[in-house]
Chain A
Amino acid sequence: MKIPPFKEINPPNKNGYWINPKTKESYGGQYISPLLIPNLQKVEKCFEKAIKDKKFMKGLEEKLLTFIGVNTPILRSTELENLIGGARKVGKIYLKRTDLHHDSSHKPVNSFSSCYMAKHIFKAKKIICETGASMHSRSVAAACAMLKMDCEVHIGAVDAEKVSLNKDISELYGAKIVVVHDSTKSLLPAMASALRSWQSNPDAMYVVGSVAGPSPYPRMVRTWASVIGRIAKQQFKQITGKVPSTLFCVCGGGSNLMSMAYPLLKDKTEIFAVESAGEGIPTGRHGATILGGSKMGILLGFKSKVVMKSAQIAESLTEASGLDFAAVGPEVAYLHDIGKIKFRSTTDMEAKKTFLMCCEKLGIVPAIEACYVINAAIKEIKKRKNPRENHLIHLCGSGESNVARMIKFKRENE
C-alpha cells in the first residue's frame, strides 16, 4: 500500500495567516515572545525540507504504515443505518476506524511525523508536548521511545486525573510528566506551560497536538495528520466509487477534523464538525467554541475564535478531555467563516448514552470524543433522509481510558 501524496490546497500566507476574502479577517499568525521566533523559523524550515525530501518521506510513510498502522479499514455500519430507518431511507453509513491505530487515536500520525522530523531534520534530542486526553502525549511518548528521544509532557491537573490510563502509558513509554495546576488545570494551561518550557529549552522541539499554536504548527499538524484523510478518501472511492456525500468529525481544537476534512476541501463532500455542547450551550457550561458564538482572540501564539470572559481565556467545560479546548485552530475558524465547514453539537449526556449504545450495538468501545460525532451524525443523517447519500463518520479513537467513568455511568443508569 502507498499513502496518496500530499497536495497543498489551502496554504496560509508567508506570515502564517489565512485571510477571509470577504471580511479581510486574518486567522493564525505568530504571537509569541521574540525568544521563540528563531525556533519557529527553524521548525518551518525543517518542515519545508521534510516534505520535499523523498528519502525522509519514504522512511516516515513506512513507519506510519507499519508502526502506527494508518491503513485502518472503513466499516459499513448497517447497525447505525438501522437505528434511523435503514439504508433505503437515509443512505449508507460508514465508519473510518481510526480507533484501530497504534495508541488508539488519530493523534499518533501527527505525533510520530513531528517527532520523526525532530529527530532526523531538526536534530532535537528532546521533545516537549502538552496534552488533554493524553492521547497526544501517549503517542508522542511512544514515538520518543522508538526514536530514542527524551519526552516531557505537560498535562492539566484535572485531565491527569480524568485520563490516568493514557497518562500512565505515557509514563511507561518513558515520558517525564509535568502536572500543571494553573488556571483551568486543563489543556489550555498545559499548552501555555509547554510553550514556557520550550523557552527555557530552545534546543528541544515542541510538538503540538492540535492544529493550533503559532505558525507553522497549524499548517504542519494538519499536513501530517491529513495522511488519515488521504487514505480514507482513496478507500471510500474504492468502496462507493465516489467521495463521501457527507463527512462528520468531532472538533475540539480541530486536529481530527482537519485530518479527515483537509483532503476533501475541494470536493463536493459536505463537511460537518461536531462540538461538545457540554451541559447545553445556553447553560454556558460547554466546549462549543464556534456554536457558543466565540469572538476572535489571541492565545498561545495564534489568532482564532476563542472562548473568552472579558479579555481572559474562559473555561471550556465538557466531559471529553480531548474536546476541552477554549478555541479552534485558525484554519478551522477560517473554514467555518467562509462557509466550508458546518458545525453541529452534542451534549455530554447524549455522548455518554451514545458510548453505551456503541458498546452494546456495534461491539466497539469508542473514545468518548467520537461519541459526540456519532450522535450528531445520526441526527443530521436522519434529518437529511436521502437514500442516495454515502455518509462517512470519523471514529477517531478508542475508549479504553474512558472505561472507568463509563462503567460507573452505566451502572448508575441501569
Chain B
Amino acid sequence: MNKNFQEMFAKAKQEKRGSLIGFATGMDPNYKTSKKILIEMSKHCGAVEVGIPFNTSTSDSATIMDANMRAIKAGANTEKIFKLIKEVKSEIKNNVPFLIMTYMNPVYRYSIKKFAKKCKTSNVDGLIIVDSNNNSPEDKELSKELKKINVAYVKLVAPTNDEAFIKETLKKCSSWIYVVSYAGLTGSKQVNLGNVKKISKLIRKNSKIPIGVGFGIRTKSDVSKVIKIADATIVGSGIVDIVGKNSKNHNLTKKIGSYLKNLKKGLNKQR
C-alpha cells in the first residue's frame, strides 16, 4: 500500500472516523486559483483528488464537463497538472496523499511508463483512470509500472458489476477501491446506500482493502451515512459546483473551506 494512504487510513481508524477525499479539476478555473483551492482542500480532506481534464469524457456530468472545459481553456495539460500537484505538495508540508483522476487517453498519449515515473517525481500518491478496462494492454502495463514505484492504482467498481468482475479488479487495485454508488454520471443523482452495501459486501468477502465511495455525496448527512459502511467518501461535484459559481469571487477558497469543514462533521463512525 502507498505509505501516505496507509497513514491516512490508520489515523482515521485510530480516531474512529472515516476519511474525506475531495475532488477538483486541476487548473479550474486557472493555474493560480486552482493551486489555492488544492491547498485549501488539503487542510480539510484526508486526501485530494485532482482531475486531468479530458474533453471527450464519457462518465462526467455537466458540472465536471464544464470544469474540464474551463481548465482546458486556461491551458491545462498533463505536464502542467503534474507541476501544479508538485508545487502544492511542497507548499503544504504534510503527507496528505494526492491522486490524479483522468481518462486513459491523456495517460496513453503521455506514454504509460513516463506517466508512472512522473507520478513518482511529482509526489503523486495514486491514480484513478475512469475508462481503464482490466483487459486492456495499457491497464496491464500501468498497474505493473505503478506497483514498482508504490503509487496507488485505485480502480472503480459499479453497482452493475458482478463478483467475478470485482475479483478481477481487486487483483490490480492497490491502497483502496472506489465504489460508484449508482448507475449514472458523477454527481447527477443521490448516493444509493443499498448499492453501496451490496458491493461493499462483495468486496469484503474477497479482500480487506479500504473502500471509498463516490457519486452523489454532497451533504454532511450523505457523508455520515456512507461512512457507516465505508472507509472513505469522495466528494467532487459539490466542490466543483462552488468553483463554477464563484470562479471570480475572492472568497472562493473560503467557501470551499467552510463546505468541507461542514462535511467533515459527518465523518465520525461512532453513533
Q: Name A's B-contacting residues (CB within 8 A).
A: 15, 26, 29-39, 182-183, 188-189, 192, 195-196, 199-200, 202, 295-301, 303, 306, 308, 310-313
| Closest-CB distance, A33 to chain B (whole angstroms) | 5
Partner of A34, one of B78, B103, B157: B157
Q: A38-B161, A200-B184, A301-B131 are in contact. List 14 more A-B contacts (CB 8 A).
A: A29-B135, A31-B132, A31-B136, A182-B69, A183-B56, A192-B56, A200-B183, A200-B189, A202-B160, A296-B108, A310-B77, A311-B54, A311-B110, A312-B72
The answer to whether residues A301 and B58 also contact, given A30-B135, A34-B157 and a CB cut-off of 8 A, is: yes
> Does the CB pair A183–B69 fall under 8 Å?
yes
> Does the CB pair A312–B69 fall under 8 Å?
no
Partner of A196, one of B108, B135, B185: B185
> Does the CB pair A192–B72 fall under 8 Å?
no
| Closest-CB distance, B27 to chain A (whole angstroms) | 13
Docked CA distance A296–B112 (Å): 14
B105 within 8 A of A: yes
Partner of A300, one of B58, B158, B161, B165: B58
User: What 0/1 pattern do residues 31 to 56 of B give for CB contact below 8 A with A?
Assistant: 00000000000000000000000111
| Closest-CB distance, B59 to chain A (whole angstroms) | 5
> Does the CB pair B56–A299 fall under 8 Å?
yes
B95 within 8 A of A: no
> Does the CB pair A33–B110 fall under 8 Å?
no
> Does the CB pair A196–B59 fall under 8 Å?
yes
| Closest-CB distance, B161 to chain A (whole angstroms) | 6
B193 within 8 A of A: no
Docked CA distance A183–B72 (Å): 10
Q: Which residues of B contact A15 (CB under 8 A)?
A: 135-136
Q: Which residues of B contact A199 (CB under 8 A)?
A: 58-59, 183-185
> Does the CB pair B105–A299 fall under 8 Å?
yes
> Does the CB pair A297–B158 fall under 8 Å?
no
> Does the CB pair B156–A34 fall under 8 Å?
yes
Sample (27) of A-B pairs whose CB atoms are under 8 Å apart = A15-B135, A26-B137, A30-B133, A30-B135, A31-B131, A31-B132, A31-B133, A32-B131, A33-B58, A33-B131, A34-B156, A34-B158, A34-B180, A35-B160, A35-B161, A35-B180, A38-B162, A39-B160, A183-B55, A192-B57, A200-B183, A297-B105, A297-B108, A298-B138, A311-B78, A312-B56, A312-B72
Q: Which residues of A contact B61 (CB under 8 A)?
A: 196
Docked CA distance A35–B60 (Å): 13
Q: Which residues of B contact A32 (CB under 8 A)?
A: 58, 131, 133
Interface centre among B158, B162, B169 (most CB of A within 10 A): B158
Docked CA distance A36–B137 (Å): 19
Q: Name B's A-contacting residues (CB within 8 A).
A: 54-61, 65, 69, 72, 77-78, 103-106, 108-110, 130-133, 135-138, 155-162, 165, 169, 180, 183-185, 188-189
> Does the CB pair A310–B55 fall under 8 Å?
no
Docked CA distance A35–B195 (Å): 12
> Does the CB pair A298–B65 fall under 8 Å?
no
Docked CA distance A310–B105 (Å): 10
Closest to B180 in A: A35
Docked CA distance A313–B169 (Å): 28
Closest to A310 in B: B77
Q: Which residues of B contact A303 (CB under 8 A)?
A: 108, 136
> Does the CB pair A298–B104 fall under 8 Å?
yes
Q: Which residues of A contact B109 (CB under 8 A)?
A: 295, 297, 308, 310-311
Closest to B185 in A: A196
| Closest-CB distance, A293 to chain B (whole angstroms) | 15
Docked CA distance A303–B104 (Å): 10
The answer to whether residues A196 and B105 also contact, given A34-B169, A39-B160, A182-B65 and a CB cut-off of 8 A, is: no
Docked CA distance A32–B105 (Å): 12
Q: Which residues of A contact B133 (CB under 8 A)?
A: 29-32, 34, 37
Q: Which residues of B contact A33 (CB under 8 A)?
A: 58-59, 130-131, 156, 158, 180
Docked CA distance A34–B78 (Å): 24
The answer to whether residues A312 and B185 also contact, given A33-B130, A34-B156 and a CB cut-off of 8 A, is: no
Q: Which residues of A contact B132 (CB under 8 A)?
A: 31
| Closest-CB distance, A142 to chain B (whole angstroms) | 27
> Does the CB pair A311–B77 fall under 8 Å?
yes
Interface centre among B61, B131, B155, B158 (most CB of A within 10 A): B131
Q: Which residues of A contact B78 (CB under 8 A)?
A: 310-311
Q: Which residues of A contact B57 (CB under 8 A)?
A: 192
